[in-house]
């Protein structure tokens, strides 16, 4: 600890603290431009210079660490005049086109000059002009360098946070311009991090441009509706149109961090293709009906349906309140335990995963994981699926050298931050983890004798397991060595483990073995739907109730329901917000199954493929049209707020679910008030007790530990591999699927901005393999799977991916990846060929 004086006030701070932060401790704010907490120190703008007792020269407080007994003066006459002088310099070549600048009104340069002067400037020379007209750097970025204050935040953010490094400075001195190398369109992530960090209007949002002044905007705090990282956003609208989604410093755990989907993908809420009235299918054609009619049709069908032959599939994007109420309605009014929150994996796999990642334990945050000495990221294409978690890992590993190990068949951006990457064969993660376990076991096998699951190892050796996983045994041993050498370990486990039902049991074993070695192990799931963790907590699962409580009899999950429907038919299936047709792994089966459902009711905002197959369609609400809470993958409960009323006749989902609940013969009442439901959740799911107050804070409510209701130990079923039949055409590649950085289902499909990043469905393969086949990025490629199913994709290449892997983003409506899949088979084999012209 170091004690120093700031403006005469004594403060004690940790060693290595910057003067800037020490001043903050003393309650003094020092103005800054180039400084950003999440970026490396630069010390170039000189706004933060301060006087140190005994030193003649003023020092930059953002890069100067404190020393004992130091006396700092942040507002001495010399400092105050220097600050005004720096601003005068910055303004000397500034464009001063504030009236037409998007940033005006929330511009850091304006604010700084307002506070620190100078009151008048005397610069009378010609100004530096980089260009006459603004130019476009991406579908979402417009550039005006004439406003630049050269703080390099954009360049550093692109490199240090996003990991793309496509921005740099051209020229030198006063002629230095931060831009892309050729000042043309960037091949980047289009995440807009450069825009968010820019202090003045140099980087601007293209879609938002000239649509509003900041003071005209009305906004609500919300949570990004895409992956489960749970980024805090503020959605802002003007005259009924949502124009912007922003993340602000200090507004949530993610501060300014957002990915392309979070920052630009919100515009689906402006889509005109909404379902605005209830629709009933008569003679194969949808006809608009009133809510009364819709409810009476619904009630009639509930009456005749048997609970055994009824099912509910909910989207993991609904709020906790909706999900809680939905499972309650299912279990009472609909008298069924057949309820699930995803249609992409089996209920057995998800149950085993929940136990392995300890969802019923207390919250584990991404920053918390990065406090550990070793971080093992497995079963996740994290850079694509959870971009902001990827940023956090990168930022923290830049700041402190971290022992990061990544296991994935695909290459990804985060590989550069990793000490070790394990490119295992698709759906062979289990073998890889077992290999690591075997390597750990090599010394002191008896230590691990008592562990459940140690028999998974059998007599297998590291070498044989490494071979099975398709990696070198040195790499497997290397991973084991790194884990053994670290006292604190974080496992970040992704949904590929559920997709392929692979590696879950093995990860549980690894965890248990590490615990025997007295390691501090934290586990965090990496999930891709906003409220997947909430859906499990609320008991939207056939095997347990709210808070992982026991249920009298287990029901069927999505997989079970589809199989049952296909074989013996169902009386009723109630689908809320999920597109089963596009996402169930086994397109042929699901189409067959839906035909055999007597009454299919779909509640959604868009006419999805599943909704098209429905008998009754109920228009629900979007995330900006409701109040409620969602639980992130970390176990962070945060509030979403209503920005506007649902479109047309559409209703808040909670209201619809409550109304359906009230259709029981007994006439039970269900509250449709989100706050009332939340307080019921607080009582039923004890880990949520205190959530109503907790969600109001910046950090949100972090779930605590509870004895009541634990995710049960479960075993994930092993998937089969595609059989290789002699004489059949050779299909040399394994197909893997997942979220694309720009594409994650229906919502993105309705985002115009996201749609402008990529045209149509894409397939990704290793750059080396594409070259071998003579294929170039952008070529049209035909992918052929079992029984000749084929679809055409545009080729993208990725340099780190295994050569035997091709990747197709899941749930494209046009060329759905699930057509190549069959339930129970992981990473199916496909062949690729250029499309015949």
List contacts with another protein (CB under 8 A): 41-47, 49, 56-58, 63, 82, 85-86, 88-90, 92-93, 122-123, 125-126, 128, 149-150, 168-169, 171-176
Q: Of 65 and 834, which CB lies nearer to another protein in the complex structure?
A: 65
Only one residue has tokens 């990221």, namely 377
The CA-based angle 380-350-784, given to 5 degrees, is 60
Q: Of 169 and 373, which CB lies nearer to another protein in the complex structure?
A: 169
Q: Of 173 and 240, which CB lies nearer to another protein in the complex structure?
A: 173
Mapped onto helix, strand or coil, the DSSP state of residue 742 is: coil
Q: What are phi and psi of 364, to 5 degrees?
A: -120, 120
* Paired tokens of 28: 């003094």
Instruction: Work out how close the CB of 176 gets to another protein at its nearest, in angstroms, rounded to a whole number.
Output: 4
Instruction: Determine the Cα–Cα distance for residues 660 and 326; give it in Å rounded to an integer.
Output: 9
Q: Of 92 and 831, which CB lies nearer to another protein in the complex structure?
A: 92
My answer on whether omega of the bond before 118 falls inside 30° of 0, hence cis, is yes
Please spell the DSSP secondary structure of 265-301, one letter per residue. GGGGGG-S-B--S-EEEETTEEEE--HHHHHHHHHHH
Instruction: Work out how close the CB of 195 gets to another protein at its nearest, in angstroms, rounded to a whole number.
Output: 22
* Paired tokens of 84: 């005004």
Instruction: Work out how close the CB of 7 gets to another protein at its nearest, in angstroms, rounded to a whole number.
Output: 20
Helix ranges (DSSP H) in 192-243? 193-197
Q: Of 41 and 105, which CB lies nearer to another protein in the complex structure?
A: 41
Q: Of 88 and 293, which CB lies nearer to another protein in the complex structure?
A: 88
Instruction: Work out how close the CB of 405 gets to another protein at its nearest, in angstroms, rounded to a whole number.
Output: 23
Instruction: Work out how close the CB of 537 gets to another protein at its nearest, in angstroms, rounded to a whole number.
Output: 46
The CA-based angle 755-760-764, given to 5 degrees, is 110
Residue 234: in which H helix or E strand, if any? Answer: strand 232-238
Q: Write the CA distances from 228 to 360, 385, 453, 670, integer angstroms.
A: 16, 9, 30, 28
Instruction: Work out how close the CB of 152 gets to another protein at its nearest, in angstroms, rounded to a whole number.
Output: 8
Half-sphere exposure of residue 799: CA atoms within 13 angstroms, side-chain side:
4
| Bridge-based pairing state of the strands 570-576 and 597-604 | parallel
Closest by CA to 244, choosing from 227, 269, 281, is 269
Q: Of 120 and 518, which CB lies nearer to another protein in the complex structure?
A: 120
Helix ranges (DSSP H) in 221-270? 260-264
Quote the distance between the C-alpha of residue 593 and its chain's center.
Answer: 31
Instruction: Work out how close the CB of 33 gets to another protein at its nearest, in angstroms, rounded to a whole number.
Output: 8
Instruction: Work out how close the CB of 94 gets to another protein at its nearest, in angstroms, rounded to a whole number.
Output: 10
Instruction: Determine the Cα–Cα distance for residues 295 and 655; give it in Å rounded to an integer.
Output: 12
| Bridge-based pairing state of the strands 780-784 and 790-798 | antiparallel
Only one residue has tokens 């290999």, namely 435
Q: In what order do the strands lie in the sheet with 59-60?
A: 9-13, 2-6, 71-73, 49-52, 59-60
Instruction: Work out how close the CB of 49 gets to another protein at its nearest, in angstroms, rounded to a whole number.
Output: 6
Q: Of 13 and 576, which CB lies nearer to another protein in the complex structure?
A: 13
C-alpha R_g of the chain: 28
Q: Of 4 and 86, which CB lies nearer to another protein in the complex structure?
A: 86
Q: Of 181 and 367, which CB lies nearer to another protein in the complex structure?
A: 181
Instruction: Work out how close the CB of 108 gets to another protein at its nearest, in angstroms, rounded to a whole number.
Output: 14
Instruction: Determine the Cα–Cα distance for residues 486 and 436; give it in Å rounded to an integer.
Output: 14
Please spell the DSSP secondary structure of 508-524, one letter per residue. HHHHHHHHHTT-EEEEE
Instruction: Work out how close the CB of 173 gets to another protein at its nearest, in angstroms, rounded to a whole number.
Output: 4
Q: Of 36 and 301, which CB lies nearer to another protein in the complex structure?
A: 36
Q: Of 66 and 617, which CB lies nearer to another protein in the complex structure?
A: 66
Q: Of 128 and 563, which CB lies nearer to another protein in the complex structure?
A: 128
Closest by CA to 729, choosing from 616, 589, 578, 833, is 833
Instruction: Work out how close the CB of 88 gets to another protein at its nearest, in angstroms, rounded to a whole number.
Output: 7
Residue 492: in which H helix or E strand, if any? Answer: strand 488-494
Angle in degrees, 0-180, between the axes of helices 504-516 and 347-356, rounded to the nearest 10: 20
Helix ranges (DSSP H) in 284-412? 291-304, 320-331, 347-356, 366-369, 382-385, 387-399
Instruction: Work out how close the CB of 85 gets to another protein at its nearest, in angstroms, rounded to a whole number.
Output: 4
Instruction: Determine the Cα–Cα distance for residues 826 and 828; give it in Å rounded to an integer.
Output: 6
Instruction: Work out how close the CB of 21 gets to another protein at its nearest, in angstroms, rounded to a whole number.
Output: 16
Q: Of 128 and 644, which CB lies nearer to another protein in the complex structure?
A: 128
């Amino acid at each position: 600890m170091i004690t120093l004086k700031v403006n005469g006030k004594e403060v004690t701070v940790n060693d290595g603290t910057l003067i800037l932060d020490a001043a903050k401790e003393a309650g003094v704010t020092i103005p800054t431009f180039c400084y950003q907490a999440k970026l490396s120190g630069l010390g170039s703008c000189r706004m933060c210079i301060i006087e140190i007792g005994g030193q003649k020269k003023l020092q930059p407080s953002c890069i100067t660490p404190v020393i004992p007994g130091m006396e700092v003066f942040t507002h001495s006459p010399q400092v105050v005049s220097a600050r005004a002088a720096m601003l005068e310099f910055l303004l000397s070549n500034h464009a001063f086109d504030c009236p037409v600048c998007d940033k005006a009104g929330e511009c850091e340069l304006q604010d700084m000059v307002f506070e620190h002067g100078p009151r008048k400037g005397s610069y009378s020379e010609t100004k530096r002009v980089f260009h006459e007209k603004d130019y476009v750097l991406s579908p979402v970025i417009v550039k005006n360098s004439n406003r630049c204050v050269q703080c390099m935040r954009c360049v550093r953010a692109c490199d240090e946070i996003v990991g793309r490094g496509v921005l740099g400075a051209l020229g030198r001195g006063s002629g230095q311009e931060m831009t892309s190398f050729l000042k043309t369109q960037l091949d980047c992530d289009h995440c807009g991090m450069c825009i968010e960090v820019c202090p003045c209007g140099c980087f601007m949002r293209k879609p938002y441009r000239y649509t509003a002044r900041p003071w005209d905007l009305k906004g609500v705090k919300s949570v990004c509706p895409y992956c489960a990282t749970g980024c805090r956003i503020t959605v802002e609208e003007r005259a009924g149109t949502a124009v912007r989604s922003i993340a602000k410093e200090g507004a949530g755990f993610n501060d300014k961090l957002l990915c392309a989907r979070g920052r630009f993908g919100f515009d689906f809420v402006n889509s005109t293709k909404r379902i605005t009235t209830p629709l009933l299918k008569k003679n194969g054609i949808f006809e608009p009906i009133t809510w009364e009619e819709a409810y009476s049709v619904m009630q009639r069908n509930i009456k005749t349906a048997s609970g055994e032959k009824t099912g509910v599939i909910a989207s993991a994007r609904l709020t906790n309140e909706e999900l809680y109420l939905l499972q309650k309605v299912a279990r009472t009014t609909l008298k069924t335990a057949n309820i699930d929150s995803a249609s992409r994996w089996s209920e057995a796999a998800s149950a085993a995963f929940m136990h392995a990642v300890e969802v019923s334990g207390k919250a584990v945050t991404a920053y918390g994981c990065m406090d550990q000495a070793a971080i093992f990221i497995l079963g996740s294409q994290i850079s694509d699926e959870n971009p902001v978690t990827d940023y956090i890992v990168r930022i923290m590993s830049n700041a402190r050298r971290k022992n990061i190990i990544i296991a994935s068949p695909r290459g990804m951006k985060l590989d550069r931050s990793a000490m070790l990457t394990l490119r295992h064969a698709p759906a062979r993660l289990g073998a890889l983890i077992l290999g690591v376990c075997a390597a750990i076991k090599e010394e002191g096998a008896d230590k691990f004798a008592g562990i459940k699951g140690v028999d998974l190892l059998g007599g297998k050796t590291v070498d044989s397991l490494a071979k099975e996983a398709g990696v070198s045994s040195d790499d497997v041993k290397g991973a084991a060595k790194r884990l053994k050498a670290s006292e604190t370990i974080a496992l970040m486990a992704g949904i590929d483990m559920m997709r392929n039902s692979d590696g879950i049991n093995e990860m549980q074993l690894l965890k248990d073995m590490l615990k025997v070695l007295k390691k501090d192990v934290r586990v965090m799931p990496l999930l891709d739907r906003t409220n997947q963790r909430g859906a499990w907590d609320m008991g939207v699962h056939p095997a347990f109730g709210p808070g992982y409580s026991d249920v009298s009899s287990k029901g069927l999950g999505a997989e079970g329901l589809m199989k049952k429907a296909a074989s013996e038919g169902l009386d009723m299936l109630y689908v809320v917000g999920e597109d089963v047709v596009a996402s169930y792994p086994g397109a042929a089966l699901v189409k067959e199954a839906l035909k055999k459902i007597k009454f299919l009711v779909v509640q959604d905002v868009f006419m999805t493929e599943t909704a098209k197959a429905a008998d009754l369609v109920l228009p629900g609400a979007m995330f900006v049209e409701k109040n409620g809470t969602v639980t992130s993958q970390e176990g962070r409960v945060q509030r979403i707020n209503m920005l506007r009323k649902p479109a047309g006749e559409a209703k808040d989902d909670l209201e619809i679910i409550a109304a359906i609940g009230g259709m029981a013969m007994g006439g039970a009442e269900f509250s449709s008030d989100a706050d009332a439901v939340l307080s019921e959740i607080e009582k039923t799911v004890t880990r949520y007790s205190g959530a109503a107050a907790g969600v109001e804070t910046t950090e949100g409510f972090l779930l605590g530990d509870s004895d009541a209701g634990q995710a049960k130990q479960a075993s994930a079923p092993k998937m089969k591999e595609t059989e290789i039949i002699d004489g059949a055409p050779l299909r040399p590649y394994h197909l893997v699927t997942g979220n694309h950085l720009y594409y994650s289902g229906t919502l993105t499909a309705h985002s115009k901005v996201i749609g402008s990043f990529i045209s149509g469905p894409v397939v990704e393969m290793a750059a080396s393999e594409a070259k071998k086949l003579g294929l170039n990025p952008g070529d049209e490629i035909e992918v052929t799977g079992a029984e000749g199913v084929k679809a055409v994709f545009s080729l993208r290449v990725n340099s780190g991916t295994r050569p035997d892997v091709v990747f197709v983003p899941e749930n494209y409506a046009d060329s759905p990846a699930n057509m190549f899949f069959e339930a129970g088979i992981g990473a199916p084999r496909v062949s690729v060929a250029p499309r015949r012209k």
